Amino acid sequence: MDEGTNSIAAYVPPLRVLRGHVSRSTAYEIDGHRYGVRVSKIRYWVETATRGPKRQQHRVMAQTTNPHQPGSPWNNPWPKSTYFRWVMLCLDPNGQMEWTGVHDFDVTPEFDARLKLSGVHAQLTDPEREQYEVLADKSRLRRGPWIQFARTVDAVAAHIAATGEDPHTHRGTWDSPDGPVFLGTDHVPVYLASARSRPAH
């Protein structure tokens, strides 16, 4: 990292889990949303389908006010995500909304690591954690990606232990001594944080 800090938060910022925002009336509201050259309010909630093929699945909804109209009325809501089997609303350190969700057989080792490194997993209630782990266990049946993730984190940790520095990556690829290793353009921080979170030996 350019900032010279090795804290996990420098790689994967902590997230605060939000609960109870399941309708427009219970939505989480944020001021200061950019609306063209003006600012408006925006609110988020998790909608659960009650019928059809998506029954009991969840998606994130959003709704903004219109500052160009008298009284800044609320616009029509729209979906901010696809439907998930499991989803959590979260706030980042700057108070901005994020969400994390998975489908069946959709939990990757990188997603699982990010969920834990960001502190989301530790904030889950027992039922929430149990529901997530059921989905994660389905994905772990395909062992290859999980084994490869662990091996790559081992290699990154060994590099850091030997050099004291993060491996240099270009477009998500690390030119390791054993050859190029593709970490993924979006997952490099997860690999670095996972490696640095391991106890020193």
The reply to whether 179 falls in a domain is: yes
Same domain, 97 and 189: no
The reply to whether 165 falls in a domain is: yes
Range of the domain at 113: 9-140
User: How many domains, the chain?
Assistant: 2
Q: Is the pLDDT reported for residue 68 higher than 70?
A: yes
Select from 140, 159, 185 the last residue of a domain: 140
Same domain, 42 and 101: yes
pLDDT at position 104: 81
Q: Is the pLDDT reported for residue 3 higher than 50?
A: no
Q: How far apart are CA 39 and CA 75, in angstroms?
A: 14
Same domain, 55 and 114: yes
The reply to whether 201 falls in a domain is: no
Same domain, 68 and 115: yes
Which among 171, 172, 164, 170 has a CA at the least distance from the CA of 190?
172
Stretch among 32-36, 73-77, 78-82 having the lowest mean pLDDT: 32-36
Same domain, 22 and 73: yes
Whether the CB-CB separation of 64 and 41 falls below 8 Å is answered with yes
Q: Is the pLDDT reported for residue 86 higher than 60?
A: yes
**Structure tokens, 135:** 């989905």
Same domain, 157 and 116: no
Q: Which residues of 162-190 are buried (b: 16+ CB within 10 A; e: fewer)?
A: eeeebbebeeeebeeeeeebebeeebbbb
Which among 146, 71, 73, 74 has a CA at the least distance from the CA of 107?
146
Same domain, 119 and 146: no
Q: Which residues of 126-154 are buried (b: 16+ CB within 10 A; e: fewer)?
A: eebeeebeebbeebeeeeeebeebeebbe
Same domain, 106 and 152: no
- How crowded is residue 7: how many other Cβ atoms within 10 Å of its Cβ? 11
Same domain, 33 and 79: yes
Same domain, 59 and 90: yes
Same domain, 122 and 177: no
Model-level pTM? 0.89
Same domain, 96 and 166: no
